[in-house]
Amino acid sequence: WIGERELGGEDIVVRAAAGSTGRTLDRIEESLDGEKTPPEQRVVETGEPTIIQPLGEDASVPENVRRAAFADGLQSLLAIPLTYGSSVHGVVGIYAADRDAFSERERASFETLGEMAGFAVNAARNRNLLLSDSIVELTIELRDTEAPLCDAATGRDATLNVDGVVPQGDDPLLCYLVVEDGSPDAVADALDDHDRVVSTRVIGDHGETGSIEVGLNEETPLGHLASHGVTIADAEFASGRGRVVTELSPEEDVRRIATALTRRYDAEVVAKRERDRSIRTAQAFRDDLSERLTGRQESALRTAFFADYFESPRGSTAAEVGEALDITGPTLLHHLRAGQRKLLSEFFETGGDRRP
């Protein structure tokens, strides 16, 4: 059987079952709401696979499940988490009649299956958010002084604005910060002191302003939200407080997500609203981008594209594309970089500067 973990919570909902389930599946569903939960529940909590052989002699399995399994002729259990990165989206419980049904090879195969299924669940949730006509926007206020970004902003008397985040599955959440009214080097040093900060790098330092790249693990508020598939739309940290704006699909259980965060950190949901998402056609995207690009930038991008400059291996060099436009290679590269920046800014909707 397959159970899905409700987003933001620990409860499991049975989504599918196959084979001769008999009475065992009924007893498993009963135990999910009981005081003594089945091994599959613990697998969701720990993210670690477990094998129980023989099933009837293991006291960690609820007695009603053991009795039903005995009556159905089941003697082995393999429970595999459905994972994506550090997130556990659910569990698959495989029961077998043989006492020693699961070898190391079979266990490895099912673990791979669990990772594939977890990826599919995560992709489906992200797809729901992308395709939804409306989104739920949560504004969360953080007062957790132990949270790295709150602490660094307070300790260095700076304001930290999150310009963008890049989730990486098992790897740390990459967070790009704009520093205002403070030294980027000093903020990076303060962040380095936190064991929940994996890496820091100063990208730009202009005295009292600049930008930093920070790697955050899932024990941080932003890392926790990202690991649960929540989109971080905006965030600001200053004077011992943080304000985080998140976006979710209306289908998600917003209350559970909020509860999971507030239980773990000194945080409070201060606003919730559902709003329609503006639909933007491909033609509208091209029109907006065309308005932002200069004539030279658009010509450079278009010529380089059709001349296979962006292919690997390249069909044309920068000098050859520049010659076609009657400009030098370095001038072409300048126009390409400026045009690519505008293209990426429009695509990612960063709201960054709009340089000519």
Q: What's the pLDDT tens digit per position in 275-313?
A: 876 666 667 777 777 888 898 999 999 999 988 999 989
Q: Say whether 8 sits in a helix, a strand or coil.
A: coil
Task: Report DSSP letters for 264-307, one per residue.
Answer: HSSEEEEEEEEEEPPP--HHHHHHHHHHHS-HHHHHHHHHHHHT
Within 141-192, residue ranges assigned H as helices are 148-155, 184-192
- For 2-130, the fitting CATH number among 3.30.450.40, 3.30.70.20, 3.90.190.20, 1.20.1510.10 is 3.30.450.40
Report the length, in residues, of the chain: 356
Q: What is the pLDDT of residues 312-330, one digit of tens each?
A: 899 999 999 999 999 999 9
The residue ranking higher by pLDDT, 331 or 136, is 331
- Compute the half-sphere exposure of residue 18: CA atoms within 13 Å on the CB side of its CA: 3
Q: What is the pLDDT of residues 56-94, one digit of tens each?
A: 888 888 888 888 988 888 889 999 998 876 677 789 999
What gap in Å lies between CA 206 and CA 189, rounded to an integer?
Answer: 16
- Any idea where the domains of the chain sit in the sequence? 2-130, 135-276, 282-348
- In the structure encoding, which two tokens stand for residue 23, read together? 């009475």
Average confidence (pLDDT) over 100-113: 86
What gap in Å lies between CA 66 and CA 123, rounded to an integer?
Answer: 35
pTM of the full predicted structure? 0.63
- In the structure encoding, which two tokens stand for residue 327, read together? 């400009």
Strands of 10-150 (E only): list them: 12-16, 50-52, 76-84, 87-96, 134-142
Domain at 282-348, CATH class:
mainly alpha
Residue type, 10: E
Reported as a pLDDT band with limits 50, 70 and 90, residue 10 is low
Residue type, 67: R
Q: Give pLDDT, residue 9.
A: 57
